[in-house]
C-alpha cells in the first residue's frame, strides 16, 4: 500500500514535538512577529553599504569594490574573510560580499546578480517603504520560497513579521506543494509556524484534516511546539468550534503555562483580526481560562485593554478581588488601568 504523504507529514510534526522534550530547551517561535532583523533592515538602517571581495594586498581581508550607500571607507576594512568564503569567491569571480556599517562593518550576505537586483530595489525603495509597509510586504511576498537561499531567508523574515491579516491573504496564493515541502523538511522547523498559517488558507480537505489531526496530537502529548500557529490555523478553519476545543482541552484542565500561553496567543491573534462576534467569543473564553489559570491574567488584560472591553470590567474586578494577593505586579497595574476604562 502506498502511504499518503499527508500521513507522513502528520507523523513528522508529532515526532518533532516528541524530540523537543529531550532536546535543549528552545522557546517556541511564533512568526508574528519574529524578533529578527532582515537584510532589508540592515540595508535601510546602516550608515554605509558596500560590495567587497578579497583584498589582494591583504589576504583573508576584504576590500571595497563598490559603494552602494554612504561614504567609501577611509581606511582598510578591519573585517576577517574566512577561508570558506574565500574559496567561494575564488571560484565565483562575479560574486561579492555585502557589507553594512552600523558603527562597525558587518557581513550580510553573498551577492550574485539575483541578490544584487533585490539589494538595489531595497535601497531605491527605502523611503517609500517607510511610508507604505504594505508595499514592502507585497514586494517580498513575491520572493517567498525563492530558490536562492539568501532571498528565501530574506523573504521569509519579511513576510513572517507582517500582520496576520496580510499573511492570511497571502496564503491563498502560495502553492500547496511549496507549503507542504517546507513542513515536511525538518531543516525548516524554525520556519514552520508561518507555513502552518499559510496552510490554514487551503480549501483542500486533506490540509484541513492535517491541521485537525496535528492539533489533537499536540493536545494528547502535551507539546507546545508551534502550538500557537497550529491553534491559530485550527480556529481559522473551525471557527468557534476551534475555540471550544481549546477551552475543553486546555483552559478547563491542568496544563503547563507554556502551552496555555501559546493558545492564548492564538486566540489573541484571532480576536485582533476577526469579526466583532469572534472577539466576543474570545473574551468569553478568557473568562474560562482565568477561572482555572489566574496566572495568565496579564496576557488577557493586554487584549481587554486594547479592545476596550468595558463589558468585562465587572468580571475582572471580581477576579482581582479574589486573586489580589497572588497576582503579579504587572497584572495588578494592568487591572487598575483596565478598571479605569469604565470610569
Spatial separation of the C-alpha atoms in residues 255 and 261, rounded to whole Å: 10
In what side-by-side order are the strands of the sheet with 58-69? 58-69, 48-55, 96-102, 104-111
- Give the per-residue pLDDT at 13: 46
- Give the per-residue pLDDT at 18: 39
Express each pLDDT in 206-256 by its tens digit: 999 999 999 999 999 999 989 999 999 999 999 999 999 999 999 999 999
- Full-model pTM: 0.85
Ranges of residues in the chain whose predicted pLDDT is under 70: 1-35, 343
Tracing cell 539568501 back to the chain, one arrives at 150
- Give the per-residue pLDDT at 16: 43
Spatial separation of the C-alpha atoms in residues 51 and 107, rounded to whole Å: 10
Q: How many CA atoms lie within 13 A of 127 on its CB side?
A: 1
- Give the per-residue pLDDT at 81: 96
- Give the per-residue pLDDT at 31: 60
- Give the per-residue pLDDT at 307: 96
Residue 224 Cα to chain centre, angstroms = 15
- Give the per-residue pLDDT at 342: 78
Alpha helices in the chain (DSSP H): 5-22, 39-45, 83-91, 113-131, 133-141, 149-160, 164-170, 176-183, 192-199, 205-221, 227-238, 240-246, 257-273, 276-292, 297-306, 313-323, 329-339
Task: Indicate the domain borders of the chain.
Answer: 5-32+205-292, 39-160
- Give the per-residue pLDDT at 324: 86
Contact 140, 128 (CB under 8 A): no
Amino acid at each position: 500500500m502506498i502511504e499518503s504523504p499527508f500521513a507522513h507529514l502528520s507523523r513528522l510534526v508529532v515526532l518533532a514535538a516528541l524530540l523537543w522534550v529531550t532536546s535543549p530547551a528552545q522557546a517556541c517561535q511564533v512568526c508574528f512577529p519574529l524578533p529578527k532583523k532582515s537584510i532589508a533592515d540592515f540595508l535601510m538602517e546602516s550608515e554605509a553599504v558596500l560590495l567587497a571581495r578579497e583584498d589582494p594586498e591583504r589576504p583573508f581581508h576584504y576590500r571595497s569594490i563598490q559603494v552602494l550607500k554612504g561614504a567609501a571607507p577611509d581606511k582598510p576594512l578591519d573585517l576577517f574573510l574566512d577561508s570558506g568564503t574565500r574559496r567561494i569567491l575564488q571560484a565565483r569571480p562575479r560574486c561579492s560580499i555585502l557589507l553594512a556599517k552600523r558603527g562597525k562593518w558587518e557581513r550580510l550576505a553573498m551577492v550574485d546578480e539575483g541578490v544584487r537586483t533585490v539589494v538595489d530595489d531595497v535601497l531605491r525603495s527605502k523611503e517609500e517603504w517607510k511610508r507604505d509597509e504594505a508595499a514592502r510586504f507585497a514586494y517580498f511576498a513575491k520572493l517567498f520560497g525563492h530558490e536562492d537561499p539568501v532571498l528565501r531567508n530574506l523573504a521569509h523574515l519579511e513576510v513572517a513579521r507582517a500582520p496576520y491579516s496580510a499573511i492570511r491573504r497571502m496564503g491563498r496564493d502560495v502553492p500547496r506543494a511549496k507549503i507542504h515541502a517546507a513542513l515536511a523538511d525538518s531543516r525548516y522547523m524554525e520556519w514552520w509556524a508561518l507555513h502552518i498559517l499559510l496552510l490554514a488558507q487551503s480549501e483542500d480537505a486533506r490540509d484541513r484534516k492535517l491541521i485537525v489531526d496535528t492539533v489533537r496530537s499536540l493536545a494528547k502529548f502535551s507539546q507546545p511546539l508551534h502550538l500557537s500557529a497550529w491553534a491559530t490555523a485550527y480556529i481559522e478553519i473551525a471557527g468557534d468550534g476551534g475555540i471550544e476545543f481549546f477551552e475543553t482541552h486546555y483552559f478547563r484542565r491542568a496544563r503547563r503555562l507554556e502551552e496555555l500561553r501559546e493558545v492564548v496567543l492564538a486566540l489573541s491573534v484571532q480576536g485582533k483580526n476577526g469579526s466583532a462576534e469572534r472577539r466576543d467569543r474570545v473574551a468569553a473564553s478568557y473568562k474560562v481560562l482565568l477561572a482555572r489559570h489566574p496566572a495568565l491574567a496579564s496576557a488577557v488584560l493586554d487584549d481587554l485593554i486594547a479592545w476596550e472591553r468595558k463589558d468585562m470590567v465587572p468580571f475582572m474586578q471580581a477576579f482581582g478581588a479574589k486573586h489580589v494577593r497572588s497576582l503579579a505586579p504587572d497584572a495588578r497595574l494592568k487591572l487598575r488601568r483596565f478598571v479605569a476604562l469604565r470610569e
